[in-house]
Amino acid sequence: MTRIKIAGELRPDDPRSADLSAGREAVKRIRSLIKSGLHFAIEATLSGTFVLKHMQIAKDIGYSIVVYYIGLQDVQMHIDRVASRVEQGGHWIAEEDIRFRYGQSLQNLKPALAIADQ
| Stated pTM of the model | 0.78
Alpha helices in 1-118 (DSSP H): 3-10, 19-36, 50-60, 75-87, 95-115
**So where are the chain's domains?**
3-115
Closest by Cα among 54, 49, 70, 73 to 116 = 54
pLDDT in tens, the chain (118 residues): 565 555 556 555 555 555 667 778 888 999 999 999 999 999 999 999 999 999 999 999 999 999 999 999 999 999 999 999 999 988 788 999 999 999 999 999 999 999 999 9
Task: State phi, psi for 3 to the nearest 5 degrees.
Answer: -60, -35
CA dist., res. 8 & res. 15, Å (int): 5
SS (H, E, C) 46-77: CCCCHHHHHHHHHHHCCCCCCCCCCCCCCHHH
CA dist., res. 47 & res. 30, Å (int): 17
Q: Look at residue 98 and give its three-state secondary structure.
A: helix
